Amino acid sequence: MIKTKLINVRKAKEFAQGAMARELHMTQSQYQRREKGEIMISDPEWEKMAKILHMNIEDIKEDEPGKVVNNLENNKVNYFGSNNYFYNIPEFILENQQDYINLLKKEIEELKEENRTLKEKLKDI
């Protein structure tokens, strides 16, 4: 079921799908599939979307048909009729990973510069 309320509010707030996807730590395609109703939106995702859009959940959420089973052992939610799994990763872990990625990017740039310097020295030999 297409999430008309969500789409209308997102557009009214001038948020692109890509911007929403980045805020939710997913690809634009994954977000688009949620709006189209191809992938069910979990309650934590509804909460994050409402926070991003500065709205109440009731203003954007639409009921989703289908049976939901919450498997807390594996920290995943299975939606019958779909092979999609949703993992709720704590925000601090995502931030930590982003910090690590940024550190690695910095190190790569430093190594590239060192490589250029060594190439210049070899030319002089």
pLDDT higher than 90, residue 79: no
Give the mean pLDDT of 73-93.
59
Which long-range contacts link 33-40 to residues 24+ away (Cβ below 8 Å)?
A: 34/3, 35/2, 35/3, 35/6, 35/7, 35/10, 36/2, 36/3, 37/1, 37/2, 37/3, 37/64, 39/82, 39/84, 40/64, 40/66, 40/68, 40/79, 40/82, 40/84
pLDDT at 106: 96
pLDDT in tens, 44-66: 999 999 999 999 999 999 876 65
Give the mean pLDDT of 107-119.
95
pLDDT at 80: 47
pTM: 0.52
